[in-house]
Chain A
């Protein structure tokens, strides 16, 4: 009985430690410190819960650009109608610490010369 209990505990611990993909998107701990600029064409856009995302194609590679939750994203002026597939967008923000991960979190998105400050306090003063 005791041995069975120990075995079950060991199984539970084993199951609790699966190898999972890199964590993303909550906070900035997963991103590089310095800012990064990405220019690409829009593949798709989602402005909604739990947070908005923009997929940009850059030289044949699709990048996932994370924005803010829908509230702050829309407050910046950026909605799903702001861009459509094929539009050129410049995303300024912080990219993933993992260089193989094509993912960044944007603080500012520029579309046709108009800037949308998704995280205004993180945009460096011009």
Chain B
């Protein structure tokens, strides 16, 4: 594991990113953009499912925002992986990093359950879980940058 993480840090692209003046802040900014789009669309979808937003029909809203959320998630994973790779060994040694990944895993399972279940009451509960989980992931992620 140590050697794998160490060799990730030694990749030419990652070594360039490590000391770059422009690229790293750009990757960081894209991560913020991606997370912003993801969390915002998740909250809007959850509020629609819970019933707080009623002005737009659920299907149209979900069709649009699910794409934004999935696109944001993909970009967040890509940019997050790049920043992780710069200090892979250190991040892998931080409990907070694994708490964040664990929370993302739980949020993923929650999404899976939501996609499979049809009962209205259950969907609302899962939306309630989602609306708490994703901002928590954001918060934990932000704290990661302050404890290394």
Contact = CB atoms under 8 A, between A and B. Distances in A.
Interface of A: 1, 4-5, 7-8, 11-12, 15-16, 18, 20-21, 23-26, 46-50, 53, 70-71, 74
A49 B18 contact: yes
B33 interface: no
B87 A48 contact: yes
A49 B145 CA distance: 11
Query: Top 4 closest A-B pairs, CB basis?
Result: A48-B18, A49-B24, A15-B136, A8-B128
Contacts, number: 63
Given A5-B50, A15-B135, 20 more contacts: A8-B131, A8-B132, A11-B132, A12-B132, A12-B135, A15-B133, A15-B136, A16-B135, A16-B136, A18-B136, A20-B143, A20-B147, A21-B147, A23-B147, A47-B19, A48-B18, A49-B18, A49-B24, A53-B148, A70-B18
Contacts of A8: 50, 128, 131-132
By size class, the interface of chain B is 20 to 34
B139 interface: yes
Interface of B: 17-21, 24, 28, 50-52, 83, 86-87, 90, 96, 124, 128, 131-133, 135-136, 139-140, 143, 145-148
